[in-house]
Chains A and B, each alone.
Chain A
Amino acid sequence: MGTLVSDRAIEAEISVMRQGEGKLLVVFSGFWRLAGSLPSTDEFRKQIETIQVQRVSFDTDELKDWDSSLLTFLIRVNRLCAEKGIEIDLEGLPHGARQLLKLATAVPEREGVRKTAKREMFLSLIGAKALVFWRSTVDMVNFLGEATVAFGRLQTGRASFRRSDLVLLLQECGAQALPIVSLISVLVGLILAFVGAIQLKMFGAQIFVADVVGIGMVRIMGAIMTGIIMAGRTGASFAAQIGTMQVNEEIDALQTLGISPMEFLAVPRMLALVVMMPLLCLYADLMGILGGMVVGIGMLDLSPTEYLHRTREAVTLTYLWIGLFHSAVFGLLVAMAGCLRGMQCGRSASAVGEATTSAVVTSIVAIIVATAVITFACQLLGI
């Protein structure tokens, strides 16, 4: 049946004829192809509703070609007849169609298999959400606990992961992130300087642009910007990678070998980010100051020496340490969010997508909350 490329006129027709006492004949003609349209069963329904019918038979002598469209139609007819208790005579159908109809009804629908749309009560929806939230909190605490244990084993040198993995990760989270970190930090430095310059010019205190940029970048902005870049770049990649391993049962394979995925996958990633983030942050600080200097020299007619001197006076070592501390914390948070969401990933392609999104969102929220906490603590300690 059918040619490879069918582009001829397509018409499917039926007519319903009365045939003696309580008998109905359905005549099919033309080309019954999915590429056309399905004739409706309305006429047939009208007939069996208006007259008393005991038996329906079919005539397909004029049927040129058929496919699933015919079967779909027949199944509708079948359903209508079953409702009315009308007998069906399949004799007149093509052999193949009879076979397929038999096949379609060979495995009846299992009881209770079909999904029914449940209408949830508002309160039970809230309850379900609360339970999900509680479970995810427990998961997170569990993960923290396991991570701590794994780091404990690392201290005693018993954690099992491959050193070569760690080196590769260090490269991925370090050197390979330099271009994007440079671009973003220079721009942030520029922006800080621009905004500061406009205000400071009013007092004739242009030179303090160096203070604004220097302190702003070193104390907080450098760390936050690298943190957010790494959340989007590396945290997401951790979640996608571990999530895909979950889908491919690679995590199961590790577990059955007695290797803790926590030690093998999460520990090197956390180590890598905690080590590389402060270095990236330091680099971002420098780049930001450079960006500020461009504005200082270009727009405010400051000399480079002047600018650098002012920066050195403004930025103390304490600020630098605070910035680096921030970035180490962010590194840990981003790596943990990435690994946690990756490990929690379901077993499908869409689950990997959700894990990645969730990893980035979690990281960014964690970064902002951690910044608030650290800043508050510094305030209390008077740093």
Chain B
Amino acid sequence: MTGEPLVVAKDLDMGYGDFVLMRDINFTVYRGDIFIIMGGSGCGKSTLLKILFGLKKPLRGKVLYGDTSFWDIDLSERQRMMERFGILYQYGALWSSMTLAENIALPLQHYTKLTPGEIREIAALKLSLVGLAGFEDYYPSEISGGMKKRAALARAMAMDPDILFFDEPSAGLDPISARLLDDLILELRDSLGTTILVVTHELASIFAIGTNSVFLDVERKTTTAGGDPNKLLADSKVPSVRRFLTRGKEGM
């Protein structure tokens, strides 16, 4: 399943000001991976994601996309690379003054030369892909939390990104909706070949969709494990990883 390396993190240190959150983070994401960034609360999963998609600079180290060092190039070049990213924020972050269709249309209006009619068709298509057919003219405040999340996913997919970043996709969703979202993620990877990076601590999701992963260890302040989560559960000897993957039943 694994293709060429797509994203490589090399000796990343991350933190805020003088405060170092994590040191020496190293991992490789391959094309077509569903890559899970896991770890306990407050270990810096979301911060790592922000470093990967360009909202926050690492204290040290490199993020490589192919041969390009993401944080060493000009802002304008980085911006161009970011056009190929789709990001699903933790709380959806839909623009509240726009309808769902307008939310999805904004990136398309900005980056393509499609006509308004075509853009509307594409917005309708994206909404139907996430099961929200017919909701084009709704405002985010008029729909439920789970629907907002799916609409936000539709917006993240608007430009058919090469890489999708998900920050806690199943947080705040009921088990069935969470499961449907997992299926949708798998479907997207299989049909469009999108590489997907997911920050989550939902064990069910981790085992269901993850093909590769990295574990951020709060105590050791670095990465202590990586690879297929199911293999990690079977083989890993690291106590903190066992504790995490078994909900504290082992490794205490």
Interface residues in chain A, defined as those with a beta carbon under 8 Å from any beta carbon in chain B: 1-6, 33-35, 37-38, 67-69, 71-72, 75-76, 95-97, 99-100, 103-110, 113-115, 346-351
The contact string, 1 if C-beta is below 8 Å from chain A, for chain B 198-230, is: 000000000000000000000000000000000
Docked complex Cα distance between A65 and B222 (Å) = 40
Docked complex Cα distance between A121 and B132 (Å) = 31
Partner of B191, one of A35, A99, A108, A346: A99
Docked complex Cα distance between A153 and B191 (Å) = 65
Docked complex Cα distance between A38 and B116 (Å) = 12
9 closest residue pairs by CB, A with B: A96-B191, A348-B96, A107-B131, A67-B160, A109-B134, A350-B97, A109-B133, A99-B191, A113-B134
In the complex, whether B72 has a CB less than 8 A from a CB of chain A is no
Q: Which residues of A contact B96 (CB under 8 A)?
A: 348-351
B residues 110-130 in Cβ contact with A at 8 Å: 111-114, 118, 121-122, 125-126, 128-129
Report yes or no: A4 in contact with B191, Cβ–Cβ below 8 A. Answer: no
Report yes or no: A96 in contact with B141, Cβ–Cβ below 8 A. Answer: no
Docked complex Cα distance between A131 and B216 (Å) = 57
Docked complex Cα distance between A202 and B128 (Å) = 79
Report yes or no: B114 in contact with A34, Cβ–Cβ below 8 A. Answer: yes
Report yes or no: A99 in contact with B190, Cβ–Cβ below 8 A. Answer: yes
Known interface pairs A68-B125, A96-B191, A110-B134; A35-B111 also in contact (CB < 8 Å): yes
Known interface pairs A34-B112, A104-B125, A350-B97; A4-B162 also in contact (CB < 8 Å): yes
Docked complex Cα distance between A98 and B98 (Å) = 31
Q: Across the interface, name the chain B residue whose C-beta is closest to A35.
A: B112
Partner of B187, one of A33, A75, A103, A349: A103
Shortest distance from the beta carbon of A105 to any chain B beta carbon, whole Å: 7
Report yes or no: A75 in contact with B125, Cβ–Cβ below 8 A. Answer: yes
Docked complex Cα distance between A68 and B118 (Å) = 11
Report yes or no: A4 in contact with B128, Cβ–Cβ below 8 A. Answer: no
Report yes or no: B192 in contact with A4, Cβ–Cβ below 8 A. Answer: no
Q: Which residues of B contact A1 (CB under 8 A)?
A: 192-193
Known interface pairs A106-B131, A107-B128; A96-B97 also in contact (CB < 8 Å): no
Docked complex Cα distance between A72 and B187 (Å) = 18
The contact string, 1 if C-beta is below 8 Å from chain A, for chain B 147-187, is: 00000000001011011000000000000000000001001
Report yes or no: B191 in contact with A100, Cβ–Cβ below 8 A. Answer: yes
20 A-B contacts, Cβ less than 8 Å apart? A3-B162, A4-B163, A6-B84, A33-B160, A34-B108, A37-B114, A38-B118, A67-B192, A68-B125, A72-B121, A95-B191, A96-B190, A96-B193, A103-B129, A104-B129, A105-B128, A114-B137, A115-B137, A348-B97, A350-B96
In the complex, whether B65 has a CB less than 8 A from a CB of chain A is yes
Known interface pairs A34-B108, A346-B141; A75-B191 also in contact (CB < 8 Å): no
In the complex, whether B81 has a CB less than 8 A from a CB of chain A is yes
Q: Which residues of A contact B131 (CB under 8 A)?
A: 106-107
Q: Across the interface, name the chain A residue whose C-beta is closest to B65.
A: A4
Docked complex Cα distance between A68 and B135 (Å) = 19
Known interface pairs A107-B131, A108-B133; A348-B114 also in contact (CB < 8 Å): no
Docked complex Cα distance between A106 and B132 (Å) = 11
Shortest distance from the beta carbon of A259 to any chain B beta carbon, whole Å: 26
In the complex, whether B138 has a CB less than 8 A from a CB of chain A is yes
Report yes or no: B125 in contact with A71, Cβ–Cβ below 8 A. Answer: yes
Besides the known contacts A34-B159, A69-B122, A109-B128, 6 further A-B residue pairs in the complex with CB atoms under 8 A apart:
A4-B84, A33-B160, A75-B121, A110-B133, A348-B96, A348-B97
Docked complex Cα distance between A67 and B131 (Å) = 19
Report yes or no: B191 in contact with A348, Cβ–Cβ below 8 A. Answer: no
Q: Which residues of B contact A2 (CB under 8 A)?
A: 84, 160, 162, 193
Docked complex Cα distance between A75 and B160 (Å) = 17
Q: Which residues of B contact A114 (CB under 8 A)?
A: 134, 136-137
Shortest distance from the beta carbon of B242 to any chain A beta carbon, whole Å: 36
Docked complex Cα distance between A99 and B192 (Å) = 9
Q: Which residues of B contact A97 (CB under 8 A)?
A: 191
Q: Across the interface, name the chain A residue whose C-beta is closest to B6.
A: A4
Q: Which residues of A contact B66 (CB under 8 A)?
A: 4
Shortest distance from the beta carbon of B73 to any chain A beta carbon, whole Å: 11
Docked complex Cα distance between A114 and B133 (Å) = 9
Q: Which residues of A contact B187 (CB under 8 A)?
A: 99-100, 103
Docked complex Cα distance between A147 and B157 (Å) = 49
Docked complex Cα distance between A68 and B125 (Å) = 8
Docked complex Cα distance between A107 and B135 (Å) = 12
Report yes or no: B121 in contact with A76, Cβ–Cβ below 8 A. Answer: yes
Shortest distance from the beta carbon of A263 to any chain B beta carbon, whole Å: 28
In the complex, whether B80 has a CB less than 8 A from a CB of chain A is yes
Docked complex Cα distance between A33 and B114 (Å) = 11
Docked complex Cα distance between A33 and B83 (Å) = 14
Shortest distance from the beta carbon of B83 to any chain A beta carbon, whole Å: 8
Known interface pairs A114-B134, A348-B140; A96-B192 also in contact (CB < 8 Å): yes
Which has the most chain B C-beta neighbours within 10 Å: A4, A97, A108? A4
Docked complex Cα distance between A103 and B68 (Å) = 35
Report yes or no: A34 in contact with B140, Cβ–Cβ below 8 A. Answer: no
Q: Which residues of B contact A34 (CB under 8 A)?
A: 108, 112, 114, 122, 159-160
Shortest distance from the beta carbon of A13 to any chain B beta carbon, whole Å: 17
Q: Which residues of A contact B159 (CB under 8 A)?
A: 34
Q: Which residues of B contact A346 (CB under 8 A)?
A: 141
Docked complex Cα distance between A346 and B138 (Å) = 16
Shortest distance from the beta carbon of B172 to any chain A beta carbon, whole Å: 13
Docked complex Cα distance between A97 and B96 (Å) = 32
Docked complex Cα distance between A5 and B157 (Å) = 16
Docked complex Cα distance between A109 and B95 (Å) = 23
Docked complex Cα distance between A4 and B191 (Å) = 18
Q: Which residues of B contact A115 (CB under 8 A)?
A: 137-138
